[in-house]
Amino acid sequence: MAKNQYYQQLTATFQRLSRFSHLSAIAGWDMSTMMPAGGSQARGEALAELSVLEHQILTDSALGEQLSRAAEEDLSDTERANLREMQRQHSQAILLPAALVEAKSLAGSRCEHAWRSQRPANDWQGFASNLRDVVALSRQEAGIRAAALGSTRYDALLDIYEPAMTSARLDGLFGDVEQWLPGLLQQALEKQQQRPLIAPCGPFPVSEQRELGLHTMQKLGFDFDHGRLDVSAHPFCGGVPEDVRITTRYDENDLFSALLGVIHETGHARYEQNLPARWRGQPVALARSTAIHESQSLFFEMQLGRSAPFLLQLLPEITRRFGQQPAFEAGNYLAWNQRVKPGYIRIDADEVSYPAHIMLRYQIERALIDGDIEVDDIPALWDEKMQRWLGFSTAGNYRDGCMQDIHWTDGSFGYFPSYTLGAMYAAQLFHCALQAHPGTAQAIENGDLAPLFHWLRENIWQHGSRFTTEELIQRACGEDLNPLYFRKHLESRYL
């Protein structure tokens, strides 16, 4: 008998699953960037077929037997972590019938494709008709998962993205933020009023914006042999570690929206490109969780990307491409990119008002999945919460309100909390990186980002899913998630 034969059989199966996921990821990227509108139905059906095939492999009775037998074999720590992640995927998959997996994939593809034209048209009724199907199927899935986990329906979906996280813990974390965020936001706005800012004057040609983005990606260490930059209606990072696809969207009147979107997605991409290569194709080589993934994008965009040293390093390239103008005077340029300006759109939000966007969505989606509200209740609730937290009414303005995001179109309920959890992790990790090597701050000032990226590679990237989220952060920082670092970061930068 071969050594660890059951474990070896499992690694072969999960390698196969990884290849199917690769195909799904690239087909999904193409659907959002290159595919002609007429290909939507056929592509949706093809992706659904792949989802069903992956589901069939994961739920095969032989796989369950192999998992049980492999647990008794002589495995290394990393192999045992890989087995744990295999078991998690299997146990989640066997809960769902293949028909539900297929129906949810088809409904998600249909809703997402229609959203691309419905959002610009402000067509809430059209969007809602598709979203109802997605919500109904998501509730069905949540009910099945909740029964198995002994949890609420929403917590069962939250666990998919953030293992071991619960809405009770989120309520504590977010409740704390709700206590101090409004006051900090008001203080930051009052401080800003003391210095009128000059807005950058466009137009800023898309071709030059793209080149600036590519220059910035290079500065941030993006590996262009294993990835590329494209355009989509909603910026995202997709693909696989060997072939990472990131996207942004351009506005000729706004230079920095696309640029900061590129920096954000490059954070995701660097994490993907640096996951443990020798375990590639195995669950242990995947990203730890969505909050850890978001911590990397926000580490790049907010902690590093909006810091004065990094912004000043980009300024010569900006003036070279777009010319000198009063808005690009160093002090104004820094203040413009660190300004607090509450608005309707989440992905364009400053980091002080951003948590309000997430808490709004979290509260609505939890009520929606738990059955406390229906799809038709969303616009009024959205308007009420936007007015209370940020002072904006979205009554009748669906495109800038409840239709602005892509996440609900495919049933990704439970994902949104990852953004603010990610911001908390990012602030904590940045603090720990600077504390671990005191020379890192000076290196950043000098334009040398290598020490910072080395710390991330050693403490986060190379571990993939070897450790639980709690263990990963404990090993990197010596303590579990501590939201105090996020508050101190915001107070330091904006007050």
pLDDT reported for residue 348: 85
- Among 302, 292, 261, CA closest to 422: 292
Contact 222, 243 (CB under 8 A): no
34: which 2 tokens?
């290159």
Question: What does the alpha-carbon distance between residue 271 and residue 286 come to, in Å, rounded to a whole number?
Answer: 10
Domain extents for the chain? 5-150, 151-495
Per-residue pLDDT reduced to its tens digit, 240-267: 999 999 999 999 999 999 999 999 999 9
pTM to 2 decimal places: 0.94
- Among 77, 262, 286, 64, CA closest to 163: 286
254: which 2 tokens?
């706004």
The sign of the CA dihedral 310, 313, 319, 321 is negative
SS3 240: strand
- Among 263, 363, 251, CA closest to 310: 263
SS3 228: strand
Question: What does the alpha-carbon distance between residue 169 and residue 43 come to, in Å, rounded to a whole number?
Answer: 39
71: which 2 tokens?
């647990």
Q: Which helix (H) or strand (E) holds 239?
A: strand 237-240
> Given the DSSP bridges, would you call strands 243-248 and 237-240 parallel, antiparallel or unpaired?
antiparallel
Cα Rg, the chain, nearest whole Å: 23
Question: What does the alpha-carbon distance between residue 240 and residue 471 come to, in Å, rounded to a whole number?
Answer: 25
SS3 391: coil
> Given the DSSP bridges, would you call strands 227-231 and 243-248 parallel, antiparallel or unpaired?
parallel
Q: Among the CATH numbers 1.10.1370.30, 3.40.50.300, 2.40.160.20, 2.40.30.10, which is that of 151-495?
A: 1.10.1370.30
Contact 435, 161 (CB under 8 A): no
Burial grade of 495 (CB within 10 A; 0-12, 13-18, 19 or more): exposed
Q: How many CB atoms lie within 10 A of CB 200?
A: 20
Q: Crossing angle of helices 167-192/153-161, nearest 10°?
A: 70
The sign of the CA dihedral 247, 312, 181, 190 is negative
- Among 46, 47, 21, 43, CA closest to 34: 43
pLDDT reported for residue 234: 82
Residue ranges in the chain whose pLDDT is less than 50:
none
- Among 393, 405, 461, CA closest to 244: 461
Burial grade of 466 (CB within 10 A; 0-12, 13-18, 19 or more): buried
* Choice among 85, 265, 301, 351 that is catalytic: 265
CA 414-420-421 angle, to 5 degrees, is 75
pLDDT reported for residue 1: 58
pLDDT reported for residue 238: 95
481: which 2 tokens?
């998630």
The sign of the CA dihedral 336, 340, 345, 346 is positive
Question: What does the alpha-carbon distance between residue 274 and residue 266 come to, in Å, rounded to a whole number?
Answer: 12
The sign of the CA dihedral 413, 419, 421, 425 is positive
Residue 280, phi-psi category: left (phi > 0), alpha (psi -120 to 50), beta (remainder): beta
- Among 261, 298, 288, CA closest to 426: 298
Question: What does the alpha-carbon distance between residue 340 and residue 351 come to, in Å, rounded to a whole number?
Answer: 8
265 is catalytic: yes
Per-residue pLDDT reduced to its tens digit, 422-474: 999 999 999 999 999 889 999 999 999 999 999 999 999 999 999 999 999 99
Kindly give, in sequence order, each residue whose CB lies less than 8 Å from that of residue 228, ignoring residues fewer than 6 positions away: 245, 246
- Among 373, 306, 297, CA closest to 335: 306
CA 426-475-169 angle, to 5 degrees, is 60
pLDDT reported for residue 29: 94
